[in-house]
Amino acid sequence: MPEKLNIPIRPRRNRKTPAIRGLVRETTLSPSDLIYPLFIHEDVLDVPIESMPGCHRWSLNGLIEEVGRAYAVGVRAIVFFPKIEETLKTPHGEECFNPDGLVPRAIRRVKEAYPDVAVITDVALDPYNSDGHDGIVEKDENGELKILNDETVAILCQQALCHADAGADVVSPSDMMDGRIGAIREALDAAGHEEISILSYAVKYASAYYGPFRGALDSAPKAGDKKTYQMDPANSSEALREVDLDIAEGADMVMVKPAGPYLDVISLVRDSVDVPVAAYQVSGEYLMIKSAAKDGWIDEEKVAMESLLGIKRAGASMILTYFAKDVAERLG
C-alpha cells in the first residue's frame, strides 16, 4: 500500500461528480447568447457555400425556413450578409440604401414571420462596392488607394436608416470608419429611430481569418487591403481607444472580431467598459474546426462547444457564430 499523502487541500473534490461540477461551473453557454449570421442572395435556390461547409446562401424563402429551424432550438438573434449581384455594385455602393434591396426585404420577411427574433444588420459598403472595400475608394496621384472616411460615413448613415425603416432591431457598423457611430446615432434619432440599437464592430482586426467569408460573398477587395481601417493584429491598447470612442459616440454594445485568436482583447475590453461585449467567431475559425473534424482529427461538436465557452469565459456576453443553430440544438 502506497502511503497516504498529507494533502488537506484537494481541488479534485470540486470535480468529483457531474452534480458537483455543475454547482461550481463558472461559465455557461445558452442559445440566448448566440447570434446566427446568415448569407442571403437574390435567387430562388439555396446554394451551399463551398468555402464554408454547412453554410448556405439562402433564398428569401430558404432564409425564413432556416430562421424557423434556428428558432425552434432557441436562437433569437440573427445577422444578415447579402451577396449582391455584380451589376448592382458601384463605386459608392448606393444599392446599400435601396428600400427595395435584398436586405430590407429580408428584414421585413423575417419580422413578419418571427417578430420576436432580434434582427441585426451589417452596415458597411463591401458587398455593394465595386472595389470590394468597406468604404469609398479613391486613387491618389501616385495610384495609391485611399479609403474616404467622411464621404463613406454619409452613405453608412443612409444604409443604417434604410435598415431601421425596414424594421431592423440593431444596426451593426462593421466598416471601421472614424466617427460613424456618432453620425449614425444622430441620423437614426433625427428620423425618429431612437429605439434602434447600435452594435459597433469597435475592435475589428485586419485578419486573414475572414478569407472564407469573402469567398462566400465575392466581396474581397479588388485591390489593396483593409489595413488603413481595420486594426493591426499586434495591438490591444488601441482596442480600448476604439471602444471608448464608440461608446462616447453612442454605441449600445461593442464587438471584438475575430474572437478565438483575440481572447485577451475580449477580456481587456470586458474589464474596461460597462456596455455588453460581443465577439465574432469568424469564418476562418469556423472553417478550421469544420475541416479538422471532416477528416476525423477532432470532434466537431465538442470543439465547437469548447471554442464558444472559451469566448464566453473571456468576457463576451454574446457570440456571433456559424455554429449557432447546431450548438443551440445540443444545448437544448
Binding residues (CB under 6 A) for ligand PBG: these are: 122, 124, 126, 134, 174, 210, 213-214, 226, 282-283
C-alpha cell at 328: 443551440
In the complex, least distance from residue 241 CB atom to ligand PBG, rounded to whole angstroms: 20
Q: Is the previous residue joined to 258 through a cis bond, with omega within 30 degrees of 0?
A: yes
How many C-beta neighbours within 10 Å does residue 126 have? 24
Rounded Cα–Cα distance for residues 277 and 5 (Å): 45
Q: In the complex with ligand PBG, which residue's Cβ is closer, 111 or 214?
A: 214
* Per-residue CA distances from 150 to 36, 117, 137 (Å): 31, 33, 12
Residue with cell 455588453: 276
In the complex, least distance from residue 6 CB atom to ligand PBG, rounded to whole angstroms: 53
In the complex, least distance from residue 122 CB atom to ligand PBG, rounded to whole angstroms: 5
DSSP per position, 212-231: HHHHHHT-S-SSS-STTTSB
Q: In the complex with ligand PBG, which residue's Cβ is closer, 113 or 215?
A: 215
In the complex, least distance from residue 35 CB atom to ligand PBG, rounded to whole angstroms: 12
325 noted as active-site residue: no
In the complex, least distance from residue 200 CB atom to ligand PBG, rounded to whole angstroms: 13
3 state DSSP class of 257: strand
Rounded Cα–Cα distance for residues 56 and 48 (Å): 4
> What count of Cα atoms within 13 Å lies in the side-chain half-sphere of residue 330?
13
Residue nearest to ligand PBG (CB): 213
Q: Active site residue: 204, 226, 290, 312, which one? A: 204
Going by C-alpha positions, the residue among 48, 154, 41 that lies closest to residue 88 is 41
Q: In the complex with ligand PBG, which residue's Cβ is closer, 95 or 134?
A: 134
Q: Active site residue: 257, 290, 312, 325, which one? A: 257
226 noted as active-site residue: no
Phi, psi (deg, nearest 5) at residue 78: -135, 160
3 state DSSP class of 240: helix
Q: In the complex with ligand PBG, which residue's Cβ is closer, 214 or 313?
A: 214
Sign of CA dihedral 292, 294, 298, 304: positive
Q: In the complex with ligand PBG, which residue's Cβ is closer, 35 or 282?
A: 282
In the complex, least distance from residue 8 CB atom to ligand PBG, rounded to whole angstroms: 49
Q: In the complex with ligand PBG, which residue's Cβ is closer, 55 or 110?
A: 55
Q: Which residues are catalytic?
A: 204, 257
